[in-house]
């Protein structure tokens, strides 16, 4: 791994830990669990960043994989620390919420309202709107992955 890639990854992980802890505080996560929330946020966002920048993967699929990994790790931590998995996983998912893409969608829609419909604005609204929806779907399915795989009453097949 090159130095620039490693520095970018470490920078991304450090910055992602901050909102994870911030939202964990908002959700009244116990003090002992805050470090796990920070680690989960850093792990998820860092893995997504690595899959996109080093693996060439699209953000939607990278988000699904990263959310699934964070959710599975959260279940492990929950069993080890005797807490509910959502204590660790929900706050760790927050840094991966597609704020820029959602904001760009809303800007395009506001511009359509202000100036009228054009092909370029419609394309921008659809592109970013669908990207936002698929990223949120990836976060949702990734967060539910342990329940889908391990806590089912019926077998998958």
Q: Render pLDDT for 48-70 as a digit per residue (tens, 0 to 9).
A: 999 999 999 999 999 999 999 99
Give the model's pLDDT for residue 156.
61
CA distance 33 to 146: 20
By CB atoms closer than 10 A (0-12, 13-18, 19+), residue 95 is buried
CA distance 124 to 67: 26
Whose structure tokens read 């699904």? 64
Give the model's pLDDT for residue 101.
96
* Residues 88, 37 contacting (CB under 8 angstroms): yes
Give the model's pLDDT for residue 157.
63
CA distance 78 to 99: 28
């Amino acid at each position: 791994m090159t130095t620039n890639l490693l520095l970018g990854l470490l920078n991304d992980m450090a910055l992602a830990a901050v909102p994870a802890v911030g939202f964990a505080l908002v959700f009244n996560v116990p003090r002992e669990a805050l470090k796990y929330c920070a680690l989960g946020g850093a792990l998820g966002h860092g893995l997504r960043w690595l899959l996109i920048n080093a693996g060439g993967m699209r953000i939607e699929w990278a988000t699904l994989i990263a959310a699934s990994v964070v959710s599975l790790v959260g279940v492990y931590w929950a069993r080890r620390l005797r807490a509910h998995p959502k204590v660790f996983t929900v706050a760790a998912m927050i840094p991966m919420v597609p704020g820029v893409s959602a904001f760009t969608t809303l800007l395009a829609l506001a511009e359509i309202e202000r100036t009228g419909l054009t092909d370029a604005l419609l394309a921008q609204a659809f592109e970013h709107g669908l990207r936002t929806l698929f990223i949120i779907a990836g976060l949702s399915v990734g967060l539910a992955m342990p329940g889908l795989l391990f806590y089912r009453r019926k077998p998958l097949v």
